[in-house]
A and B are shown apart, each in its own frame.
Chain A
């Protein structure tokens, strides 16, 4: 390995451990650290006790637009932008901290499930860097939400101010209500 500094390497391992614990896919960790694939595989098995899942990563901007994912993605993205602007962190640090804070917010809600995985969150940031997605303000509440760059949105109203008629009324939600 071209790596000389032991301290810097330890930091890279620390980042990799954080990402693995947050449930990141191997491809993400490979892109964000400079550790070799073999070392990451070993690390992954040691922490999770199993091999990392294989296959394609969820690569689609459309996922972030549908109702529930959009709210989760917007929450994560707003936290991320807050941190970049106010806390002076960036890159993988900002990803990890923002994702932890996102989990924090969701877990603080009764029955809340983290719909957005860290791998998706990472893709979200890359879509923003590539100018494929952007945050636009809702005309009603002023909160900022994820949307396609080339959409027409002069009078954008978010999915929380005007939820679609059947939003959140899934089979699972009905089952929960019946039990309660």
Chain B
């Protein structure tokens, strides 16, 4: 994969992420906060972006969304896999809901 393909991939993900986030916020603001793991200020900022702003934001060559599983969580998930699949997913969800939201600095 060369640099141009890489940048294209990043832009695609950014655009997808921003549009999906806006859609989720429009449908149910509180649920979007839970699903996205971002603060209320953040959600208001995202939902206030115009389509032109979304595109401008998406074309930066930096990924906009951040990895949400911290190391301890990831470890739990991986090691839990030999257990009941259903329970390992529920466990992940329980741990995720204890995580703080991403704040707007």
A positions within 8 Å CB-CB of B: 71-72, 74-75, 78-79, 81-83, 86-89, 93-94, 97, 100-101, 105-106, 108-112, 141-145, 160, 163, 168
Contacts and interface: CB of A to CB of B under 8 A. Distances in A.
A71 B83 CA distance: 15
Nearest to A141: B76
Contacts of B30: 83, 87-89, 93-94, 97
Contact of B72 (A72, A94, A142, A144): A142
A75 B95 contact: no
Interface stretch (B6-14, B51-59, B60-68, B86-94): B86-94
CB-based closest 5 A-B pairs = A78-B97, A87-B30, A87-B33, A143-B94, A109-B89
Contacts of A142: 72, 95, 98
B92 to A, nearest CB: 9
A82 B30 CA distance: 10
A143 B5 CA distance: 40
Interface residues of B, number: 26
A57 to B, nearest CB: 25
Contacts of A109: 85-86, 89-90
B40 interface: yes
Given A83-B30, A87-B30, A163-B87, A105 B93 contact: yes
Given A110-B86, A141-B76, A143-B98, A87 B34 contact: yes
Contacts of B47: none
Main secondary structure of the interface of B (DSSP, over half): helix
Nearest to A68: B87
A125 B70 CA distance: 29
Contact of A75 (B33, B39, B40, B94): B94
Given A106-B90, A109-B89, 6 more contacts: A83-B33, A93-B30, A101-B35, A108-B89, A112-B89, A142-B72
Contacts of B101: 86
Contacts of A75: 90, 93-94, 97
A82 B29 contact: no
Given A79-B97, A144-B94, A160 B87 contact: yes
Interface in B73-87: 76, 80, 83-87
